Chain A
Amino acid sequence: MNSRHFIRQFSQTTTNLKTGYSTVLPVHHLVKVEKAKLKPCYSEVVIPSDDIRSNKFKPTEIDQDRVQDHYYNTLESDLLLKFYEHDSKTIPGLKKREWGTDSPFKVFRKGKRKPKGSAIETQDIIPINYQNIPKLNSIVINSYNKNALERPWMNICTRLQLATITNKKPKILYNKSNILPWKVRRGKECGAKVELFDREMNQFITTLTEIVLPRLRAFEGIKLTSGDTNGNITFGLNADDILLFPEIENFQELYPNLNGMDITFKTSARTDQQAKTLLSSYGFPFYKPVKNSG
């Protein structure tokens, strides 16, 4: 039985994690009731966070965002020009198929048949017009720390490292499965991750392209082969590279246990090709990896 299920109610409730069933009294109206708004003790909490009276209020637009400005002033129209293709049509992705009715065994099969030539569905590739120019949605920084499996305090260092670099509180990663040779146990802390949006994301881009990456001697660029076919590009930095972040560089003795991290650029492009073009416009270098012969 599914352990996570929702109680169908007009009022908002959290997920019910208990097994078994619960009696739900019928509701006779269609008005959505937010219980927190009715409780006087929550009066301060329910103020929306963009209201200055809220204790969650945080002024965001306090200076010019030059990355965003650059995108709007230059890149957007350049990309539109670059991706324009006359008389192009939507290339349909691979979709799940019907089982067919030619055999009685197929009639009651559950779900649909997997797409031809692929285990998963792929998305349609829509021609670029002025409304869907690829843009960077967010950056995910993921740092898996295998040393934290044996020494849990190591994870604190990883979290602090991400928090210092990105100015955002990281989320803790937990192991999902048990793999004994690797000492992986379900529920153990094993690293941290942060997802950056808007200004924090743009700030991180400038730090990378202007301070960190140019000073990496061995860094050739992001591999042209990277990408998940859906327009998301990933590359990695190892522990030594992280020393070059300006927030860490001058306080190296405070960060003795640095950990490498994977940086994923989530873009709205439908193909990796377009996503790489977009990233190169922000100043990220790309290189073609040489295949090992023999």
Chain B
Amino acid sequence: MFSKSTILNTNNTFKVLVRYKRTKGSGEVNAATQKIVNQLSVLSASRKQPKLLNLCNEDLIKHKTIMNAWNLFKSKKNLKREEQLRKQYESMKNAMEDLKNTNKHLYKLANSKPNKKEVDLFPIEMRIPTDYPPTIPWIYSYKPRK
């Protein structure tokens, strides 16, 4: 491929310039330097960009429609979640208001918070759920560590 384009015209009327792989300077660096160079090349973003998808007009609209549906689905889910939280909040508020009017002592106990320096922590055994749950999914006789 290159041999064709590197032929120089004998009359020197034109020159075809080809960029070859660089030969000068390679092999001069020692192993440690080469390691750093490799690290740097891993960091640099050039040539790591995936190829742009060239969609036809119909597929472009299909893609947009899919994204629209996904966004609509997500926003509906979020609204539902917010509504659920609002309901929880309202019912908590109503229950406390009820308790306040019926039994002052119980209300005081229910509304007590740890003092400023203490932190109310979740138990360390609590895990983020996975696709494969543990063999003992729930510890019924759980007692917090001391």
Contact present between A and B (CB < 8 A): yes
The residues of A that contact B113 with a CB separation of less than 8 Å are: 85
A67 CA / B49 CA spacing, docked (Å): 28
Closest chain A residue to B77 by CB distance? A72
Q: Are A55 and B120 in contact (CB under 8 A)?
A: no
Check B128–A285 contact: CB distance below 8 A.
Answer: no
- Name the CB-closest residue of B to A225: B117
Q: Work out how many contacts link A and B, with CB atoms closer than 8 A.
A: 100
At the interface with chain A, which of B2-10, B11-19, B52-60, B133-141?
A: B52-60
Of the residues A80, A86, A281, contact of B100 by C-beta under 8 Å: A86
Give Cα distance in the complex from A160 to B42, angstroms.
Answer: 8
Of B40, B85, B100, B107, which contacts A76 at CB under 8 A? Answer: B85
Q: Do the beta carbons of B122 and A277 come within 8 Å of each other?
A: yes
Question: Are B124 and A283 in contact (CB-based, < 8 A)?
Answer: yes
- Chain B window 85-123, contacts with chain A (Cβ cutoff 8 Å), 1 for yes, 0 for no: 110110011001100100000010011010010111110
Chain B hits for A276, CB < 8 A: 119, 121
B121 contacts A277, C-beta separation under 8 Å: yes
Q: Is the CB of B88 within 8 A of A66?
A: no
Smallest Cβ-Cβ distance to A86: which chain B residue: B96
Q: Which of A119-136 contact B (CB under 8 A)?
A: 129-131, 133
Partner of B81, one of A67, A72, A160, A286: A72
State whether the Cβ of B30 lies closer than 8 Å to any Cβ in chain A: no
> Shortest distance in angstroms between B6's beta carbon and chain A's nearest beta carbon?
33
Determine if A235 is an interface residue (Cβ-Cβ < 8 Å): no
A112 within 8 A of B: no
The answer, among A86, A129, A160, A163, for a CB contact under 8 Å with B111, is A86
- Please tell me if the beta carbons of B128 and A206 are within 8 angstroms of each other in the complex: yes
Contact flag A209-B89 (CB < 8 Å), given A86-B100, A156-B36: no
A169 within 8 A of B: yes
Please report the C-alpha to C-alpha distance between residue A204 and residue B89 in the assembled complex, in whole angstroms: 31
Q: Name the A residues within 8 Å of B100 (CB-CB).
A: 86-87
Cross-chain contact of B43 among A86, A159, A280, A283 (Cβ < 8 A): A159
- 14 A-B pairs besides A77-B88, A85-B113, A273-B118 with CB distance below 8 A are A53-B52, A69-B129, A78-B122, A80-B89, A84-B92, A87-B111, A130-B88, A130-B89, A156-B39, A273-B116, A276-B121, A277-B120, A277-B122, A285-B124
29 A-B residue pairings within 8 Å (CB atoms): A52-B53, A55-B49, A66-B130, A67-B128, A76-B85, A77-B84, A80-B85, A81-B88, A85-B111, A85-B113, A87-B111, A129-B89, A130-B89, A156-B43, A157-B36, A159-B43, A160-B39, A160-B43, A254-B35, A273-B116, A273-B118, A277-B119, A277-B121, A280-B119, A280-B122, A282-B128, A283-B124, A283-B126, A283-B127
Q: Which residues of A contact B (CB under 8 A)?
A: 50, 52-53, 55, 57, 61, 66-67, 69-70, 72, 76-78, 80-82, 84-87, 129-131, 133, 153, 156-157, 159-160, 163, 169, 206, 209-210, 224, 254, 256, 273, 276-277, 280-283, 285-286
